[in-house]
Amino acid sequence: METLLPIMIGTLFATGLYFILHRHLFKVILGLILFGLATNLFLFVIGGITRGSSAIISEDQKVAAEPYADPVTQALLLTAIVIGFGIQAFAIVLIRRVYQTFKSNNLDELRKENEEHH
């Protein structure tokens, strides 16, 4: 498991970057989604994967007993997931509107149309 997660994270980053560099807008959005997933998984692994209790200190203790799950990393990831969904939803709506307006989702064709108008 220790070697599988870095390999999976690297594969997600590489695949996301490959899709971001494509000319079709749908593949760009797919690349952004994969890149966001890889980032979330990376942050989760960096925060430490522990199977333990919550980080709540009982009345008779002064510090939390080990092992415990880090709540800061979990809160950060939940926020990143929500922001990622918002960005993805905006990008999907933007691509749909571009396709309705120009009847194409190829960036090269959109660039040619833009040069023709100027």
Average confidence (pLDDT) per 10 residues, the chain, 118 residues: 87 95 85 91 80 70 72 84 91 85 77 73
pLDDT value of residue 3? 84
44 vs 28: CA distance, rounded Å:
24
pLDDT value of residue 7? 94
Question: What's the predicted TM-score (pTM) here?
Answer: 0.72
63 vs 59: CA distance, rounded Å:
10
Domain enclosing residue 71, as ranges: 4-117
51 vs 69: CA distance, rounded Å:
7
As for how many domains the chain has, the answer is 1
pLDDT value of residue 14? 97
* CATH number, domain with residue 10: 1.10.287.3510
Task: Tell me the β-bridge partners of 53.
Answer: 68
pLDDT value of residue 55? 64
